[in-house]
Chains A and B, each alone.
Chain A
Amino acid sequence: MTSATFAATPQRSTSSLWALLRPAHPWLAFAITASALLIGVVGRQIGLPMWQAALPGAGIFGVAVIARWSMDRAKFGSLCALVVALVSFQGGHGIEHIMQWLQYHAFGYTLRASTGLISAADTELVHFVWNWGVLLVMIRLYILGMRNPWAYVMLFWSTAHTLEHTYLFVRHLQVLAQLQSWDQMSVTAQGLPGILGRDGWLARSPVTAGTWICTIPGLTTATRLDVHFWWNVGETLLMMIAATTHISRQRLHTTQ
C-alpha cells in the first residue's frame, strides 16, 4: 500500500474527498436509492416493522456500495477505500444523531422518544460496537499512513468517545444484571448517563460536586442526546477534515 495509489487513475480525480465520495454513475445511484426507498415504503404499507421493511433496500444499497468500494480499492488501494467507507458509515451514523437532535429540539419529541430513524438500533450494544469499530478502523488508517495533525485530533476524539461508550456499556450491563436479579426483565436500562453531560460521572462525582466542573455548560449540563450529538458531529467533521488533508497532501506529493 503506497501513497501513490491516490493518483493512480486518470479517469477519476482523487483531488478531494468529495471526488471519492460522489457517485461514479449518478443515475445508477439514483435508481438504486429510489428502488431501496420504494421497497421500504411498500414494506411499511403491508405492515412490516421498520427494520424489516428497510432490510431489502439496505441490502440492495449495501451491495451497490460494496461493489463501488471494491472497485475503488482495486484502483486506489486499501487506504483510500477504507477512508471512503469510514466517512460514509460515520456520516450515516451522524445522520441518526442529527435526526435524534431534530426530534428532540425541533419536533418536540420527548427524550425517550427521540431515538432517530432506526430506533431499534439505538441501544448501548450498537453504540458500543459501532464506536469500537470506528476506532479500530482509525487505528488501521493510522498504520496505513494517514498521519496529519487532524488525524491525531480525530484519533484522540474517537478514543475519548469510545471510552465514554465503554463506560456506558459496562454500567448498562451491571444495571441490567441487577435488574435481572430482581426479575425486572422488561426494563431495558438504555440511556443511562455516561461520563459527560447532565447526571454523568463528571457532574455527579463526589469529587466534583459543588465545584465549577459540575456546571460547565454542555459538558456537565447537557442531556445525553446532546452530548452524543456533539460527540458524533465532532467525530464526523474531524474525520472529513483529516481525510481531506491526507488526500490533498498525497495529491501534492505525487504531483511534485
Chain B
Amino acid sequence: MRVTHRVSTLLVSLTLAACTYLAPAVPWTGTTVAVTTTTSPFSATSSPCAPTFVRHALTHTTMLPLPVQLFASNGSGVAAGDVNNDGLTDLVFANLAGDTTLAMNQGDFRFDEITLGLPYTRAISIVDVDGDGHLDITATHRGAGMSMLHNMGQSPPQFTRVPITLDQSRTYSMLWHDFNGDGRLDVVTGSYDADIQRGGGLSLFDHQNGGVFVHTQNKNGTFKSLRLTDRANALAIAAIDIDGDGHDDIVVGNDFDMRDEVWLARQNTWLAVQPFRSTPHSTMSYDVGDINRDGQPDLYAADMNPYNTDVATMAAWLPVTSNMPQLHPNDDPQLMENSLLQRTTDERWQSYGRELAADATGWSWSTRLGDLDNDGYTDIYAVNGMIAQELFPYLPNHELVEENQALRFDGTRYAPMPAWGLNDTASGRGMVLSDFNNDGRLDIAINNLQSASVVYENRTCSGDALAVTLRQPGPNPNAVGAQLRLVNADYTQWQHIAVTRGYLSGNAPSAHFGLGNTPPTTLEIRWPDGALSTIPNPGTQQLLTVTRSTP
C-alpha cells in the first residue's frame, strides 16, 4: 500500500511538473488618450517579385589588421533610422578599426556613404536622445565610454559631437529605452570584462566602472546612474516585460559562463531575479518579438551552436568548445544553444528553441526576429562566423566560415530558407532589419568583419503588411518603449518600438507587422507612460503614423 502510494505520488508530481503552460497575455488597462492617424501607402516596387533577396554591396568595411585578435573579432554593429527626415531609412555602420560610416539612403538601394569622424565604435544606435525631433547617433567605443553625435537638423545632416557623461567609462553594449515612463529616454550600459582583462586586467578604476548600469535621464539632459552589478560580459541587452506587470524589465546576456541576468522594474528600484529555466551558455544577441501570436513578447537569445554536425564542422569547433569553461550542472541553466524563451503560468520562462528548431544558427552574432515574407509568422535571421588567430589557428585565415541562417516559421517549426539567398559566408556581426524602400517588406543590412557591408533587398512574393510609427509630444517623440498589439479575427500580434535590437545594433523606431492575407481589426497601443489608444481598422499595405495629441 505504501509503495502504491509513493508511486502514485511520484506520478502525480511528474504530471504536474510536465503541465506547465504558456501564460496568457495580460489585458492592458490604463488611461485612454486620443490620437490622430495619417497613412501613406507602400511604394510600388519597380522590380517583379521573386523568391529571393537581392544583394547590394556597400563600401564600408570593418577591416582589422591581420592577424585578427580575439575580442577585436567581436566586430561592430549597424543602426537604422531616418536621420534627415526624408522618409527613407538611413544606416550607420560602426567601425572598430576606423571611422564610423553614415550611409544616406538615396532610394532604389543606393546609399551615399560619408564618414562621421567617430572612430573605433562598437555598438551603435540612432535615437533622438534630446527629443528635438532629429535622430542623433550614439555609440560605444572599445576601451572607452559612450559618445553622441548630435543631429543639428540641417540638410544635408550635420552632426556635432557632444559629451554624454555617465558613471561608467567602459561600455560595450547599450540599450535606449524609457523605463520609467517619464517621457525621457534612459540608457542601460554593460561592460565586457573579458576584453578589459585582456587589455591588462581589471584595475580598481575599471572595477568601479565595470558591470551593468541604468542611467536615468534628468530633465536637464544629464543622467543619474545606478549600478545593477559590478561585473558583466554584456554582449546583449533587452527591455522586455518579464513578469507581466506592464513594465519593461532589463535582461542582460553575458558571454562565456557568466549567467544572463534579469532585473525587474520596481518602484524606484530594480529587483534581481532568475526566471529562465535555461539560457544560452554564451549569449551573443537578444531580440524581442511575438513568435506564437499570443499578443505578448517572447525573447530570442542566440548562442554559439553549429547548425550542422558533420565531421568537418565538429572538428572545426572542437578545439574551441573543449576549452570552454563548464559550470556545476545542478544549478546552472546555461546550455550551448539558442533559447526561444516564453513566459509560463508559473512565472518562469521556458525555452522552446529546440522544439521549434531554432536552437542552432552557428557562431551567431546579431540575430533578429521579423516577418521576412509577410505571411504573418515571425522568421529568424542570424549572421554568424568567427575570425580569431587564438581560436582558429588551424583554419585558413583563422576563420570559421559559416553561412548566415535564414529560418522561416510556418507556425509549427522553423526551417532553413536557402532559396532566399541570404546564406552569405561573410563574417557578419551587426545586423538590422528595416524597410529601406518603403515597399512593406523587411530588408536587411549587415556590418561584416573583414569584408564589405551589404544590404539585402527583399523581393519575396509576400503577403500584406502594416508598418506603424508613433509620435508623441515631449522629449521621446518616437515613443521608444511603446508596445503594440495588432488584433485580427484569429490571433493577436505584438510588437514594440525599440531602437536597440540584436547584437550591438540599432533599429528604426517603427514596427512592422506581416499579415499574410488576414486584415487586422484593431491596433492597440500602450504608450511608454502606460496610456492606451485603440485604432479600429488600421488597414493594410501602408505606413500608419499615429500621433498622440496630449501628453
For chain A residues 209-236, which have a beta carbon within 8 Å of chain B? 209-211, 214-215, 221
CB neighbours (8 Å) of B355 from chain A are 210, 214-215
Cβ 8 A contact of B319, one of A104, A113, A179, A215: A179
Q: In the complex, are the beta carbons of A210 and B412 less than 8 A apart?
A: yes
A214 touches B314 (CB 8 A): no
Minimum CB distance partner of B305 in chain A: A199
Chain A proximity mask over B298-315: 1 for CB below 8 Å, otherwise 0: 000000000011011011
Q: How far is the CB of B398 from chain A (nearest CB, A)?
A: 12
| A56 within 8 Å of B (CB atoms) | no
> In whole Å, how far is A214's beta carbon from the nearest beta carbon of chain B?
6
- CB closest chain-A residue, reference B415: A210
Residues of B158-179 whose CB lies within 8 A of A: none
Q: Is the CB of A187 within 8 A of B322?
A: yes
Q: In the complex, which of the residues A110, A174, A193, A199 contacts B311, with contact meaning CB atoms closer than 8 Å?
A: A174
Q: Residues 167-205 of chain A: 1 if any B CB is under 8 Å from the residue's CB, otherwise 0?
A: 000010011001100111001110011000001010110
A187 adjacent to B328 (CB under 8 Å): no
Select which of A110, A171, A178, A215 is within 8 A of B327 by beta carbon.
A110
Asked if B357 and A209 make an inter-chain contact with CB atoms under 8 angstroms apart, the answer reads yes
Q: Measured between alpha carbons, how far is A188 from B323 in the docked complex, in Å?
A: 12
Give every chain A residue within 8 A of B318 (Cβ-Cβ). 175, 179, 187, 189, 192
Say whether B551 faces chain A, with CB atoms less than 8 Å apart. no
Whether the Cβ atoms of B329 and A110 lie closer than 8 Å is yes
Residues facing A in B343-360 (CB within 8 A) are 354-357, 360
A112-B356 Cα distance, complex, nearest whole Å: 29
Q: Is the CB of B330 within 8 A of A209?
A: no
Task: Flag A97-141 by CB within 8 Å of B: 1 or 0 each.
Answer: 000000011001011110000000000000000000000000000
Q: Say whether A210 contacts B357, CB under 8 Å.
A: yes
Closest to B352 in A: A215
* B357 lies within 8 A of A175 (CB): no
* Inter-chain contacts of B360 with A (CB < 8 A): 204
Please tell me if the beta carbons of A215 and B312 are within 8 angstroms of each other in the complex. no
Q: How far is the CA of A188 from the CA of B394 in the complex (A)?
A: 15
- Per DSSP, chain B at the interface is loop
Within 8 Å of chain A (Cβ to Cβ): is B120?
no
Chain B residues with Cβ under 8 A from A221's Cβ?
354
- A204 touching B309, Cβ below 8 Å: yes
Is there a chain A Cβ closer than 8 Å to B219's Cβ? no
Residue B224 is within 8 A (CB to CB) of chain A in the complex: no
Kindly count the residue-residue contacts between A and B in the assembled complex, taking CB atoms under 8 Å apart: 68
Distance in Å: Cβ of B390 to nearest Cβ of chain A: 14
Which B residues are CB-close (under 8 A) to A174? 311
- B residues less than 8 Å from A113 (CB atoms): 326
Instruction: Please report the C-alpha to C-alpha distance between residue A201 and residue B315 in the assembled complex, in whole angstroms.
Output: 16
Partner of B326, one of A112, A171, A192, A215: A112
**B56 within 8 A of partner (CB):** no
User: Does B414 sit at the interface, judged by CB under 8 A?
Assistant: yes
Contact across chains for A104 and B329 when beta carbons are under 8 A apart: yes
Partner of B309, one of A108, A193, A211: A193
Given contacts A108-B330, A179-B319, contact A211 B413 (CB under 8 A): yes
A199 to B415, CA, bound (A): 18
Chain A residue at minimal CB-CB distance from B336: A199
Whether B309 lies near A178 (C-beta < 8 A) is: no
CA distance A141 to B355 in the complex (A): 43
The reply to whether A210 and B356 contact each other, CB–CB distance below 8 Å, is yes
The answer to whether B144 has its CB under 8 Å from any CB of chain A is no
Cβ-defined contact, A175 with B315, below 8 A: yes
Which residues of chain A have C-beta atoms less than 8 A from B356's C-beta?
210
Specify which chain A residues have a CB less than 8 angstroms from the CB of B394 in the assembled complex: 179, 182-184
Indicate if B395 sits at the interface (CB-CB under 8 A).
yes
**16 pairs from A and B in contact (CB 8 Å cutoff):** A105-B330, A110-B329, A111-B326, A179-B318, A182-B315, A184-B394, A187-B318, A187-B319, A187-B322, A188-B322, A189-B318, A193-B309, A203-B354, A210-B412, A210-B414, A214-B357
**Which B residues fall within an 8 A CB radius of A?**
308-309, 311-312, 314-315, 318-319, 322, 326-330, 354-357, 360, 394-395, 412-415
Identify 18 new A-B residue pairs, CB closer than 8 A, beyond the known A105-B329, A199-B309, A210-B415.
Answer: A108-B330, A110-B326, A111-B326, A112-B322, A174-B311, A175-B311, A175-B314, A175-B315, A179-B318, A184-B394, A187-B318, A187-B319, A189-B315, A209-B413, A210-B356, A210-B413, A215-B355, A221-B354
User: Which A residues have a C-beta under 8 Å from some C-beta of B?
Assistant: 104-105, 108, 110-113, 171, 174-175, 178-179, 182-184, 187-189, 192-193, 199, 201, 203-204, 209-211, 214-215, 221
Q: Which 9 A-B pairs have the closest CB atoms?
A: A210-B413, A210-B357, A182-B394, A178-B315, A110-B326, A209-B357, A174-B311, A108-B328, A175-B315
